Structure 1
Amino acid sequence: MQETILDKAVPFFLGLALIEFIWGRRKSVYRWNDSVSDLATGILYSFTGVIITLGAILLYDKIRIYYSVQSLFHLGEFPSSSPLIKTAEGWQFNLESFLAWTFVLLAVDFIYYWFHRATHEIHFLWACHVTHHSSEEFNLTVALRQSMFQRIFEYAFNLPLALFGIPWWMFFICHGILKIYQFWVHTRLIGKLGWMEKILLTPSHHRVHHGRDPEYLDKNHGGILILWDRWFGTYAEEKKEPIYGLTEPLPTFNPIWANLHVYISLWNLVKATPSWKDKLLLLVKKPDWRPDSLGGEKKVPEINRSTYTKFDPTISNSRKMYGVLQFIVLAGLSVYLLKLIKLGKMSFVLYSGFGVWFFFAFLSLGLVWNGRAKMEKWEVLKFVLLGVLVWNLK
């Protein structure tokens, strides 16, 4: 499995985040505990992404080969060559290829708008996206804060592209461009950008999207173009800087809980609901919907800006240092393991074993970052499991 355009962009993401950290120090744009939690969720997203992406490619290609319009009606292949081709006479522009790539990029962006909107309006899909919104900060590391499970549903939304005969690698390049574009809009340090605000998604638009203020909820879902929001009624302009995060703030820096808490909450709601109809509606209606048996729809709480404080537990410097150093080691190990699996130098069984280990490792580190006293048993289990896995890596 080869590196994607998104994989190649990660060093640039981290470099830009470092620049933002230095640039925004006086504005308190970053907090160490929030940022390491962001990066930890990004590592988990990358780890699960290998298997999810491989499965998506196999399914996508099967649909394209057997069920695309080209296959069913014996049409020519979808144009996928580069719009610019170097020949002996110099560079030549291929209009057909340019139009094909433009179509795919616009299609990917259009599908992303509806997928993104659905993750805010359908409860079981919100569970796979809430991780990204659970930070109370808004900076470039938040862009890397992604759910372990989001790719399953995001790729499923894009499967119709296979029916047009679009090669999977062409989709992945355009989808990667969309994701790279989305990275830079996660910043508080760039103001409004004039004419760009009318057409493209900008940091101002995306600050609104991450706001928990009632007037900002479920707005500005676009990936590259803000036009979709303007056309389909989900646009909101930034009038004041938002309060970032969830309407019910997540009081933890544990990346595992950030991935699972809505799934667990939804499961408990479904169990507590006697009506089978209401059980189904809980899954497909908005996240704040509740049946009458559970008290009816939840009201979005107003925010008192004068008393609002972010979750920020006080922990000792030694524990902070222990947590940061362990995170650095985990990050380095994850990069090494991802490289091995993509080069085909590690079995999926062993890779899955390391995935389970990372689950326990970050669960334990979450206790460190939250200032919890009882973390020793998790730390012991973590190191025992690591020893077993490293032994099998030889």
Structure 2
Amino acid sequence: MESLREAIEFIGGPAALWILAAMYFGSVILERIWAIRGNPDYDNKDALNSIGLNLMSSVINLVIGILVPLALYVLVYDNLRLFGAIPLWAAIPVAFIAHEFAYYWDHRLNHRVGLFWAFHAIHHSSNEFNHSTAARGFFLDGQLKRLFAVTPAFIGIDPVLYIAVSVCTNAFGIWNHASYVPRLGWVDRVLMTPKMHKIHHANQPQYIDRNYGQVTLLFDRMFASTAYLGEEPNPGLVKPVHDYNPLTAQFAGLKQLKERMDHADRWQDKLAYLWRPPEWSHDGVCRSDCPKYAGLTAA
């Protein structure tokens, strides 16, 4: 148990960001080496664009996405927690379930609220599915889960432990973007394996808004958002983006949101696009993100 505690302190300490960076760039490099023989169609321009988007969002996110949420977590843990010392054997699964729950609902809301989708769409804007796309994102994406993460602070989960669990789950989230992992049988029914997560990145109607979890299918099963592999998933947005410049590609979701808003004349309708689902339109016309919901888009 002592060695486990030491591992948690290392993973959840100052080394946390370095561990994730090593996991991400190491995975991208190894996958690219594998692709020399295993995937000759590997898109280098798309991968470099994803890496650029990751670096930009990570630098900007350092304050609003890491330091501020961490300070809030510590503040709640030090002053408002309900329980004292929680045994490690209980704290680890509680932290994991809390993180998975926060990730699920943040992810689901990012797909179902227009403005949040405009932020999150960048992660889906690649037409490839590989390790490079794992950390492709916009700096405002995923901020809700930092607020949801205050819950384990109230329970009494030590900040270092929660960070360690977050590092491990995010490392899994990098792995489940692997392009080289085949179907894994019964494991695909339990965990968010690469094939199961590729479904989430697909633009076919039967796969849209499915498989939100990061590590498991627990909450997808619980809240009826699971899809299993049938037709080979085709990654990318319903309205594809072919922009390899990270300086402009990061605004793809906001551009598509503005295009939808520009079709409305009334300011009430324009504002509704910010909180309505991305397939919604003020006049019932499907314009970009709604093959699954075609005919169901009117207010």
Q: TM-score scaled by structure 2?
A: 0.84
Equivalent of 1:10 in 21, 44, 68? 21
> Which of 1, 21, 34 lines up with 1:23 in the alignment?
34
Contact 1:212/1:247 (<8 A) preserved: yes
Give the distance between the partners of 1:77 and 1:10, measured in 2 at CA.
33
Partner of 1:296: 285
**Number of residue-to-residue matches in the alignment:** 277
The C-alpha deviation readout for 1:286-324, integer Å capped at 9, x for no partner, is: 1121112xx53436459xxxxxxxxxxxxxxxxxxxxxx
- Give the share of equivalent positions with the same residue, in percent: 28
* Deviation of 1:231 (Å): 2.4
The equivalent residue for 1:61 is 74
Cα displacement (A) at 1:3: 3.3
Q: Say whether 1:189 aligns with 2:180.
A: yes
Is 2:61 the partner of 1:32? no
Runs of 4+ in 1 over 6 A off after TM superposition: none
* Residue 236 of structure 2 is aligned to residue 240 of structure 1: no
Tell me which residue corresponds to 1:44: 56
The equivalent of 1:224 in structure 2 is: 215
- Secondary structure in 2 aligned to 1:128? helix
Encode CA deviations 1:80-106: one digit per residue, 9 max, x unaligned.
Answer: xxxxxxxxxxxxxxxx31111111111
Unaligned runs of 5+ in 1: 70-75, 80-95, 303-394
Within the candidate set 156, 162, 171, 1:180 is matched to 171
Which is bigger in relative contact order (C-alpha 8 A, separation at least 6)? 2
1:283 CA displacement: 1.6
Structure 1 residues 219 and 28: alpha-carbon distance in aligned structure 2, compared to 1, 3 A threshold: farther
How far off its partner does 1:128 sit? 2.1
1:132-167: CA deviations, max 9, x gaps? 111111111111212222243331232233222333
TM-score (norm 1): 0.65
Choose 1 or 2 for highest CA Rg.
1
CA contact (8 A) 1:207 1:242 kept: yes
SS at match of 1:129: helix
* Pair 1:266 & 2:257 matched: yes
Equivalent residue letter for 2:143: I
Quote the RMSD (CA, aligned, Å): 2.3
Structure 2, unpaired ranges of 5+: 1-12, 293-299
Measured after TM superposition, the shift of residue 193 of structure 1 is 0.9
Q: Secondary structure at the match of 2:119?
A: coil
Letter in 2 for 1:141: S
| Residue 109 (structure 1) shift | 0.7
Structure 1 residues 298 and 236: CA distance shift in structure 2, 3 A: same
Q: Residue type matched to 1:153 in 2?
A: L
1:77 to 84, 94, 97: 84
> What is the match of residue 341 of structure 1?
none
